[in-house]
Amino acid sequence: MKVIVPVKRVIDYNVKVRVKSDGSGVDLANVKMAVNPFDEIAVEEAVRLKEAGIATEVVAVSCGPSVCQESLRTALALGADRAILVESDSELQPLAVAKLLKAVCDKEQPTLVICGKQAIDDDANQTGQMLAALMNRPQGTFASKLVLGDGKVQVTREVDGGLETVELMLPAVITTDLRLNEPRYATLPNIMKAKKKPLETTTPAALGVDVAPRLSHSRFAEPPKRAGGKKVADVADLVDKLRNEAKVIA
């Protein structure tokens, strides 16, 4: 069973994101980048399936500029067997990424695609769902547990009211939530070994995919600074402030 894991290169989660002074985008100059945390969880899950003898091959795929090779090398160091870079310097929106991943899946025929539930840069939470729709495959989003069976996978999902378990026919698309697993750290020997693992490069044109953006951004702005808290004397004071200052109750 082959597992494909899409891996996005994003701003490291420890970095305080800054908006460019003209509001045209996020300032990426000299910013530390890393593998999207939900994708590390996806790689970990795929590698655990391989270690359990369920998966036979784990293929990491990234779409973006040539530096995305770094993210793919990280995935290889964490245990993926090979990697595919779909190289493009254009802005890739979720629909374009989903189409590129579909084209890769058409060639690779994976049994399972494990995406992150969202990329922490654009927080779109769309690519996995779009990919499942384009491939006409069942989807199990926000997975906190996977149990592989014969031709099926049981996915426990984190939903508003608690947990929901769904059973999907394979092949299927899964997206990972935070509690699915705790990813391992890449060891130095594995980082060295990853340099020798195969990394293939292709392009949107070679895959026959039009990646032109369908959405345009009008403005980026930082969220307003949080105002300091206020102490209230008693419940009556709290209700008064909620009614007359914050105006959140009638």
Reported residue count of the chain is: 250
Q: For ligand AMP, which is the closer residue by CB, 116 or 138?
A: 116
- Restricted to residues 145-204, the positions that interact with ligand AMP (CB under 6 A) are none
Task: Please identify which residue in 3, 78, 80, 92 interacts with ligand AMP, judged by CB under 6 A.
Answer: 92
36 vs 181, beta carbon nearer ligand AMP: 36
Candidate segments 19-27, 56-64, 143-151, 184-192, binder of ligand AMP by CB under 6 A: 56-64
Kindly state whether residue 7 participates in binding ligand AMP, applying the rule CB under 6 A: yes
Strand order in the sheet with 57-64: 162-169, 152-159, 139-148, 172-176, 112-116, 2-6, 57-64, 82-87, 199-202
Q: Closest CB to ligand AMP among 92 and 194?
A: 92
For residues 61 and 238, give the distance between their C-alpha atoms in angstroms, rounded to a whole number: 52
Rounded Cα distance, 24 and 209, in Å: 27
Instruction: Considering only the stretches 31-39, 103-111, 161-169, 233-241, report the one whose residues sit in contact with ligand AMP under the rule CB under 6 A.
Output: 31-39
Asked if residue 63 binds ligand AMP (CB under 6 A), the reply is yes
Q: Which stretch binds ligand AMP (CB under 6 A): 6-14, 19-27, 133-141, 160-168?
A: 6-14
Binding mask 111-130 for ligand AMP (x = CB under 6 A): ----xx-xx--x-xxxxx--
Work out how close the CB of 35 gets to ligand AMP at its nearest, in angstroms, rounded to a whole number. 9
Q: How far is the CB of 46 from ligand AMP (least distance, A)?
A: 11
Does residue 139 bind ligand AMP (CB under 6 A)?
no
Task: List CB contacts of 234: < 8 A, sequence separation 6 or more.
Answer: none
Binder to ligand AMP among 2, 3, 4, 6 (CB under 6 A)?
6
CA–CA dist 87, 69 (Å, integer): 9
Among residues 98 and 168, whose Cβ is nearest to ligand AMP? 98
* Residue 113 phi, psi dihedral angles, 5° rounding: -115, 125
* Member of 4, 62, 80, 209 binding ligand AMP (CB under 6 A): 62
Q: Which residues bind ligand AMP (CB under 6 A)?
A: 6-8, 36, 38-39, 61-64, 92, 94, 97, 115-116, 118-119, 122, 124-128
